Amino acid sequence: MTAPTARVRRVEVLVGPLVTFIAVLSLLSVARFYDRLPVRPPECGFKSTFGIPCVSCGGTRSAKALSRGRVVEALYFNPAVVIGSFVSFLWLLFGLRRFFAGAAPLPVPEQNRRIWRVALVTLILLALNWVYLILFLK
């Protein structure tokens, strides 16, 4: 009879998801109290130059609405902010699952493949988000 092998919890599987989630929470916290801050962002130079919104137009309003729990309003202003916040939460959950399961980090070639896939999906989603903003954001 063999002794069961102990699972080694590898903290490195949590670094990316945890840092990203903390950054998103920090930005949403700043957005929650944004109206009390003494600074205001400048007008969008892209929109004033070309007459159409940039990829991130409406992001601040979306983060403010999301930090107050108004998800539908946040989606209207900039869907990418809501999707990105939700995905960062999901990534943290998957990272926690891998951590508690004792999963080892993926081999570097697999990590590279995943980075390319995620980058491609992100670019496609940002392009679709930009089309939405051009068509519907006032």
User: What is the per-residue pLDDT for 86?
Assistant: 97
Assign 106 a pLDDT band (cuts: 50, 70, 90): confident
Name the pTM for this structure.
0.85
User: What is the per-residue pLDDT for 134?
Assistant: 94
Alpha-carbon gap, residue 1 to 20, rounded angstroms = 43
Q: Is residue 19 within 8 Å of residue 101, measured between CB atoms?
A: no
Of 134, 112, 31, 124, nearest in space to 83 by CA: 124
Question: What are the helix and strand counts (H, E) for the chain?
Answer: 6, 0
* Average pLDDT estimate for 113-131: 96
Q: Is 78 helix (H, G, I), strand (E, B) or coil?
A: coil
Q: Is residue 54 within 8 Å of residue 21, measured between CB atoms?
A: no
Percent of the chain with pLDDT over 70: 95
Higher pLDDT, 120 or 41: 120
Assign 11 a pLDDT band (cuts: 50, 70, 90): confident
Of 6, 7, 25, 8, nearest in space to 17 by CA: 25
Query: How far is C-alpha 36 from the chain's CA centre?
Result: 24
* Average pLDDT estimate for 75-99: 95
Assign 9 a pLDDT band (cuts: 50, 70, 90): confident
Residue 29 identity = S
